[in-house]
Structure 1
Amino acid sequence: MLDYLDQGFRCRQCYGAGYAVENDTPEWRLRRKAKKLERRLGQGFERPKGMHRATYQRLCDEIIDAEELADELFIEKVFRARPVRTRRPRPRAALELRLSGRQMIGSVEIGQIVL
């Protein structure tokens, strides 16, 4: 595909433009693979006429494996992005720490602070 820019016609590589699938995450690649296999099986997941039973079973297994792995990647991504909550010290305890010259960072007490 050629497109016109102020300097003239250029191809996709010269623009530095990529295909949409090049930016997919591994999770979406697996989902796209599962959808492609589902289309190959047709409506209702019934074995298409003329397809060997072993081929049909292999395709069904590949769909299930791809979807399960995509789900695992999604769950891993969600838990990785979710911050771990630590319990903050109560205001009175924080005041007592400050007066004693110590400090809390998260749930860890730091030793003497030189003022």
Structure 2
Amino acid sequence: MEPVEGLMERLKLSAAEKKCIRIGASTSARARLVDPQAIRKVLAEKLVNADGLTQALGRIWCPIKGGMCKHLGENHFLFTFLQASGKRRALEDDPWMFGKDLPVMVDFDEAKSIEEMEFKVIPI
């Protein structure tokens, strides 16, 4: 069986096919540039439901388009704001309460792991 590199060297694309090929950032990387993201940790003894958190706070931050929330484990959530103003509001207009629990939000930095992020500042 021939290695993939050898097969790729023999590949010839037509002009129409070449127009459809993009080399560079992946679709998900481009989506992150368009949709602002932040990480939120809920300081609670019990596990928090991502859907409940999105319902309670997502519509406050992004009333027109809403947002998405992905559970990352241990009450950590990745929020994708479908309005840029939503991220600014979520980060700057703290503190937000979720029931009786305090959520702390930091700007998403894909270069850091969750363990490296510091959830210790709440603007009041």
Which has the larger strand fraction? 2
Q: TM-score, normalised by structure 2?
A: 0.21
Structure with greater proportional helix content: 1
The normalised TM-score by structure 1 is 0.22
Q: Which has the larger radius of gyration?
A: 1
Asked which structure has the greater RCO (Cα within 8 Å, sep 6+), the reply is 2
